[in-house]
Structure 1
């Protein structure tokens, strides 16, 4: 038996999506009147469980409507189902089908209800903006005579190294991108509508990616100085751009003042002695050569989840978070946040909030139901993160652009919109590419991926494939910019840089497509002009293969389907600046209520 109830339809559940603790949830549950039901039980289970009796309130056509309301006093992730109770006590159990619609049967999936603390607040200053993700060594270099401590400095027009002569990749090829180089490009960021820069790690480290921190209190000398960082944040702030740092707090470098495996530092490192003040930060199975490290990578030994003195150094008063916020950092992205203990993440939030800073976590799955280390994470309950890197949106965008299934796209997007508290969704990164993924241009290209890494390094797309992929990236970028969250541009994606997996996706910045760059600039300008609309609620649905997204007064029609799509009337397209009556296959149109002509 199929039933009308749909959790995303406010005729049946109000309000839409996640709710705050103590907030009233109203349910109207239609049942065929011919069934003769006595009442309906709403069964809610989670950290706090209850059964709500829905009583008959009215008849609506062929349906008897049973209604009730409830609230939940404790934050968490809850699940609910219905029981249609007959006069003789027989029950019909109701769950949801694959489309989220109500159906009777046994052992069916339940609906999710996310509940967050009523006092949960996230920074309004970032909402509706645009983030630009800078991989610092590869973005822009102002020559200053500095050279790396180890490894070698390459010319900007050279390609990246995928392995040394012995076949081992050491991430020791540097191109010299630096903080002065970023500062010199602030007007470029403004031309893209950027309101925040997310920098790859900037603290001293042995590698070019710097996820192997050597000293949390020092800017890597190849990048500049504390004063260079302060100058960047101050000038950026004057132009309306915030700076977000990458917090790598799950592991350090083996070549660091803390571990000091190679003796490059004057400190007594954990690798050198059990008497080191840092020894208890790490886990040794056989001292000193066998120790826990991130994914078995020995150059990044893992920090123990219960290393309180490490947590004090990072999140305590006058610790690392405070230090860099005083120098101008306005936010932090937490690397592999699911590896950090929940008490530590809560401390990091306290440290961020005493500095009015944003706190975003790297999460690849639906963060509202994320499990790690045997426990459900509490990212969005109100005492941890402001937002996450929204990889599920990326998955949905790529699948739609490549396959054209608008209904699946709408369902995947609305699942996240429904599960995430709006304060968290508005502060999450909406992304289509990062330093950990294949370049978006390659991911969407009509090409066969070369078999070997050497071939992938030297591969360049044929012109026809390149141009076709540019048009697909425009579609993906349109979705990225109109969906909720903060669109986050991985450096070079806006101008058609090529590259497969890392480190091939980390080449020195270059402009490959002026057409694509102009399109991104148009998206950024619209984002800035209609910022309030991009902070509004979201509705996504499908029609004839077209994804339709409503945000405030804006409506986007994105056509990755198999045929052109006719609009109800000629309308002015904000993307192209022309009046159109058809959304062509492979194109997008953005209109605004009141500006249709």
Structure 2
């Protein structure tokens, strides 16, 4: 049997430990730590950091149970982000408790818990899953057949396999449009979607449209402004929220602003872009036909970089009356927020860094149009510093969720499991996955962790089913997605078992004809039912939506954790292979109640030693304990 971790003190930022709400500067916030009586801890202090100096306050007894003491101490919120951790004293010497766990050594503040005065993401982001749609590949309305194929595009039949590399990856054109999305909104409602996120709808010279030629209008190939308005109205009528997608780091080289910038060095538009000399020290500089050097996204000359030190950039993008950030939040479109592409690079170039200023101003602009508007960053790497600045509400959580989950469930040596790296994937033990997740979760306030966009794949990655290689492991991954803190994000097609080797190859079309017949090679009805069940499970559970996170067992081949709210305790068991099983303490049941199975087939029994978790695997189990 694998040992459990429930004999260790525990704290997280959820309502069981920290009062709900956003503190203001000067507020005194009581924070509570739960200390198992068998842990040997005698006294507890909270160590907070105020103006860079640590302060210690002893915690007071604050109730508890026969199994756990609750101790509470007050933290003064003197700075916009206030770190704190707990000093534990007992036999064997003092230890520290922070977001990464309990340590019998000195630890840096990077893993400390955090209180913040920055308002959290709007609560509606947690109402149902977030569903990502790549417009060219989702659905075609009848009107799509009458639209002329653009000169950059190579027409494809709806059932053609997407190109995974080469010029065709960006030019293969299937003709999906916005009215096609409207025709299938009932599929989203049945899936339990709360928010629809569409990748860009502005015209460009690619099927992905991240190379916008204007922000002033919606691509006519998608149906234009009128179709976008019809789509958002139809989504809102069904109770769905809608997130747009915008590039703040760059435009397309065909953008009207960039064309004017190239044509006239004295124009206001010229000042909106970063101009630089090409050379070995500037690999991301491209050269225009007239010889002008300009910064671009990763050296792709089709994506010239905006200069956020220029007032004109702010005016055109954010503050002007027709600036896209505000315009599409207003009627007739009424977007509920933005996902910001390449947020990590926006405003950064050499010795200039305006990223945090841009993020804060974008949040302010969204707030002026919609008090409950959302702002989500795309950041493939370590976004923790950016998420502390009061700009982005949350991030697309590749590093804190996607990559760790892949590393635990993918086959060793898989060419798709190390996406973005020039090496094969490595299958890691459960402890490595948990350590990575705790590292990234601990680096941001709980209000951010609870709002993160957790994904098992997106339009920029291989498909989940290809990464893990089997339906059984796909179920383990999907159960993790719907039970982990944060907002589950599903890329259209994952719910019916789509496959794909990389981001471009993964941009498959939806096989609606097979769905209408009850299934087929590209529409797995059993996978769809799994997603619907797990989505409904999350919506119906206060603990899964809003509860804290407590790791209970971490084994090479299995992990067990608790999600706990003031009203509910849910136990989640995930196993990638057979393992030794575990016995959890009986006090988790809170009385004589039997565990209630909510999902999955993992064996669970109440015995004289406690709650016995079987070593089934690959398998999952979700149980309500109290």
Q: TM-score per shorter chain, which class?
A: 0.7 to 0.9
Other structure's SS at 1:348 match: helix
- Deviation of the 1:305 alpha carbon: 2.6
**Which of the residues 443, 455, 458 maps onto 2:467?**
443
Aligned to 1:219, the other structure's residue is in SS state coil
Cross-structure match for 1:271: 262
Task: Specify the alignment match of 1:242 in structure 2.
Answer: 241
Offset at residue 415 of structure 1 (A):
4.2
Q: Is the 8 A contact 2:338 2:374 kept in 1?
A: yes
Q: Does 1:281 align with 2:281?
A: no
Provide the C-alpha distance between the structure 2 equivalents of 1:509 and 1:350, rounded to a whole number of angstroms: 37
TM-score by structure 1 length?
0.77
Residue in 2 that maps onto 1:308: 311
1:16 offset after TM fit, Å?
10
- 1:278-297 Cα deviation digits (max 9, x unpaired): 10111223564321001111
Alignment equivalent of 2:326, drawn from 322, 325, 333: 322
Question: Is the 1:477–1:520 Cα contact (8 Å) retained in structure 2?
Answer: yes
Q: Distance in 2 between matches of 1:256 and 1:418?
A: 41
CA distance 1:442–1:83, shift in 2 (3 Å): closer
Cα separation, 1, equivalents of 2:454 and 2:269: 37
SS of aligned partner of 1:259:
helix
Retained in 1: the 8 A contact 2:100–2:439?
A: no
- Separation in 2 of the partners of 1:301 and 1:560? 44
Tell which deviates more after alignment, 16-25 or 536-545: 16-25
Secondary structure of the 2:276 match is strand
Work out the CA distance in 2 between the residues paired with 1:589 and 1:526. 12
Match in the other structure for 1:516:
527
- For 2:268, what is the secondary structure of its paired residue? coil
CA distance in structure 2 between the partners assigned to 1:174 and 1:113 by the alignment: 47
Is the contact made by 1:480 and 1:487 (CA closer than 8 Å) also made in structure 2?
yes
- Give 2:450's aligned residue: 426
Offset of residue 547 of structure 1: 2.1
3-state secondary structure, aligned to 1:360? strand
How far did residue 122 of structure 1 move?
2.6
Measured at CA, do residues 40 and 140 of structure 1 come closer, stay the same or move farther in structure 2, by a change above 3 Å? closer
8 Å CA contact retained: 1:94, 1:102: yes
User: Match of 1:231, SS?
Assistant: helix
Does the CA contact (< 8 Å) of 1:336 and 1:362 recur in 2?
yes
**In 2, Cα distance between equivalents of 1:189 and 1:97:** 39
1:71 aligned residue:
76
Deviation of 1:139 (Å): 1.1
Shift of 1:404: 7.5
Change (3 A) 1:47 1:334: farther
* 2:565 corresponds to 1:558: no
Matched, 1:52 2:43: no
Query: Among 134, 152, 156, which residue is 2:154 paired with?
Result: 152
Q: Does the CA-based 8 Å contact 2:274-2:305 persist in structure 1?
A: yes
Aligned length: 524
More off after superposition, 282-291 vs 353-362 = 282-291
Change (3 A) 1:531 1:130: farther
Question: Contact 2:95–2:102 (CA<8 Å) still a contact in 1?
Answer: no
Is residue 540 of structure 1 aligned with residue 551 of structure 2?
yes
Is the 2:375–2:393 contact (alpha carbons within 8 Å) kept by the matching residues of 1?
yes
Does residue 114 of structure 1 match 2:114? Answer: yes
- Between stretches 531-540 and 273-282, larger displacement belongs to 531-540
Q: CA deviation at 1:231?
A: 0.9
| Partner residue, 1:498 | 499
Q: CA deviation at 1:257?
A: 0.7
Deviations 1:212-250 (A, max 9, x none): 111112111111111111111111111111110112111
Query: Distance in 2 between the 1:55 and 1:250 partners?
Result: 47
Q: CA deviation at 1:593?
A: 4.2
2:462–2:500 Cα contact (<8 Å) kept: yes
Task: Report the counterpart of residue 357 of structure 2 in structure 1.
Answer: 343
Shift, 1:175, TM fit: 0.6
Q: CA deviation at 1:93?
A: 9.6
Please provide the CA RMSD for this pair: 3.8
- Structure 2 unaligned runs (5+)? 1-6, 36-41, 62-70, 278-289, 347-354, 411-426, 512-521, 587-592, 606-613
- 1:183, 1:232 within 8 Å by CA — same for their partners in 2? yes
Q: Residues of 2 paired with 1:198 and 1:591: CA distance?
A: 31
Q: Which residue of 2 aligns with 1:384?
A: 391
The question of 1:486 aligning with 2:491 is answered no
User: Deviation per CA, 1:475-502, whole angstroms, max 9, x where unpaired?
Assistant: 1011101111111001111111111113
Matched with 1:264 is none
Q: Give SS of 1:321's match.
A: helix
Counterpart in 2 of 1:231? 230
In the alignment, which residue of structure 1 is the partner of 2:4?
Answer: none
Select which of 395, 409, 413 maps to 1:401. Answer: 409
**CA distance in 2 between partners of 1:290 and 1:74 (Å):** 42
Confirm or deny: 8 A CA contact 1:193 1:521 kept in the other structure: yes
Distance (Å, rounded) in 1 between the aligned partners of 2:621 and 2:44: 44
Report how far residue 109 of structure 1 moved: 7.4
Equivalent residue for 1:477?
A: 478
TM-score normalised to the size of structure 2?
A: 0.74
Q: 1:68 to 1:5 in 2, by over 3 A?
A: farther
Displacement, 1:532?
6.7
